[in-house]
Amino acid sequence: MSTPYSNFLRADMRLVILRSLAELPGYRANSSVLHTVLQHWGHEPSRDQVKGELRWLEEQALVSIEAIGDGSVLLVTLTERGADVAAGRARVDGVKRPGA
């Protein structure tokens, strides 16, 4: 069951992922790197949770995903729409707004 606090944390994690991708060369990173980034910003998700959030972002057309090797690592690329959300130019329910 989702609580308001867990929903807030998920929305913040999603924004951290998008903003991190926006700052990286090629606007891409693998799921392992993004897991480490989330830990740096105070989140403690499991690797499976990170992959779930990445899949959710893909469903919203904010990132594209390519499975690497056996699929245990995902290569994630920010889309144009994702960049707009990361910068606050567009809004998607479920992603925290920058500065909010």
Phi, psi of 45 (to 5 degrees): -80, 155
First to last CA, the chain: 24
Task: Retrieve residue 49's tokens.
Answer: 């949770």
pLDDT reported for residue 99: 82
Could you tell me the pTM of the whole model? 0.94
pLDDT reported for residue 12: 96
Which class is 4-87 in CATH?
mainly alpha
pLDDT reported for residue 3: 87
pLDDT reported for residue 64: 98
pLDDT reported for residue 71: 82
Question: Which residues, 6 or more positions from 42, have their beta carbon under 8 angstroms from its beta carbon?
Answer: none
Q: At what angle do helices 4-23 and 47-59 cross, to 10 degrees?
A: 80
pLDDT reported for residue 49: 95
Residue 37 CB burial class (10 angstroms; 0-12, 13-18, ≥19): buried
CA distance 47 to 30: 11
CA distance 98 to 100: 6
Q: What is the pLDDT along the chain (100 residues), one digit of tens a residue?
A: 678 999 999 999 999 999 999 999 999 999 999 999 999 999 999 999 999 999 999 999 999 999 988 888 999 999 999 999 999 999 999 999 998 6
